[in-house]
Amino acid sequence: MDLIVREVSHRYGELRALEAVSLAVRAGETLALIGPSGCGKSTLLGIMGGLLQPSEGEVLTSGPLPEGCLNPFTYIFQDFALLPWRTVEGNVSLALEHHGLGAGERAERVASALALCGLAEFAHAFPKQLSGGMRQRVGIARAIVVRPALLFLDEPLSALDAQTRELLMEDLLAIWARERTTSIYVTHNLQEAVRLADRICVLSRRPGRVKEIVGVEVPREERANAEHARALAELQSRLWDLIRDEAAVADREMQNA
C-alpha cells in the first residue's frame, strides 16, 4: 500500500515542529527518516500512522490492503512497549484478541510470528526475563502478527547495544525479504539507514522540512558484501554532510526554547 503525505505541518502550541512536509512512500519499499535531533521525525511518524492529528495537511493511502491484514498501520516502539505482566505469547496475542479470531487461529498466528522472530522457545517467558534484543523481537513479532500494510519503526534499535543492533538488523532484513511490508524507519543512526532503507528522507532542523530524498542504489541483500562497503561509506558521509551543521546547531539549542 502506498502512503502519501501532503503539505503536513504541525505545531505544539507556539512551537513549529513540521513545516509543509510532502513525501510519498511506495508499496513494498523501506523509507528511512533521518535528521538532526528535534527535527520532528517522530512527530511525522505519529502523524503518518494516525496517532497524531496534524495541524495542517493530510495523509492518504492508496492501493489494496495485503491479504489477512488486521491492523494496517502498525508501530514498533523504541522502548518496546511490552506489557510486563503478559508472557511473550500474551504480548503478541494482545494485538489479535479484539479481532474475533477463533482461539485456534489466534494461537496459530502467534506461534508462526514467534517462530519467524526466533522466539518459539521463549513463548512463556515474561519480558523481565529477556534481554533487550529479545524484547524488541517480541515487539517485531507483535507487529508482524497483524500483517500490517504499513510498518512504522520509531528508532527501534536505539535502546540496544551495538552487537544486538547488528543481529536485529539482519533479522529485520530477513523479515522484509519475506513479507515485503511497506516500512517507514525513523533513526538517528546513519549506518542503520544506509543498511536498511531503499530511500532515505533527510529532514532539516526544526521546523522540519524535507531537505532531500536520497536513494540507496546497492540492493539490500548485497549491502553486507565487502565490494559495496566503499560506496555505502560514501553515501553515509554524504548524508552526514547534509545534516552535520544543523545537528551542531540543534545540539546547542535549549530544550523547549
Partner 1 sequence: MPETRPVPFRGGGFNPAGWRWASWIAFAAIIAAWQLSSSSGLLPALFMPSPLAVLEALARLVETGALTRHLAASLQRIALGWAVGTLGGLAIGTAMGIFAVARSIGLPVTSALFPIPKIALLPLLILWFGIGEPSKVATIALGVLFPTIISTYTAIDGVPRNLIRMGQSFGLPAAMIVWKILLPGALPGILSGFRISSSIALILVVAAEMIGAEHGIGAFILAAGNLMQTDQLVAGVVLLSLLGLAVSFGLSRLERWLLRWR
Residue number with CB closer to partner 1 (20 or 125):
125
Residues 143-162 that bind partner 1 (CB under 8 A): 146
Nearest-angstrom CA–CA distance, 67 and 59: 22
Give me the phi and psi of 226, to 5 degrees please.
Answer: -65, -35
Q: Which of 13, 64, 68, 84 binds partner 1 (CB under 8 A)?
A: 84
Alpha helix segments (H runs only) across the chain: 41-48, 88-94, 103-116, 132-144, 162-179, 190-196, 229-252
Query: Is residue 2 within the footprint of partner 1 (CB under 8 A)?
Result: no
Number of residues that bind partner 1 (CB under 8 A): 22
Q: What is the DSSP letter of 118?
A: T
Give me the phi and psi of 62, to 5 degrees please.
Answer: -145, 155
Residue number with CB closer to partner 1 (52 or 231):
52
Nearest distance, CB of residue 98 and partner 1, angstroms: 5
Q: Which of 24, 94, 159, 174 binds partner 1 (CB under 8 A)?
A: 94
* Residue found by looking up cell 527501534 in the block: 156
User: CB-side exposure of 214: number of CA atoms within 13 Å?
Assistant: 25
Q: Which of 79, 105, 170, 253 binds partner 1 (CB under 8 A)?
A: 79
Query: Is residue 74 within the footprint of partner 1 (CB under 8 A)?
Result: yes
- Using CB under 8 A, list all residues that contact partner 1: 49, 51, 71, 73-75, 77, 79, 81, 83-86, 94-95, 97-98, 126-128, 142, 146
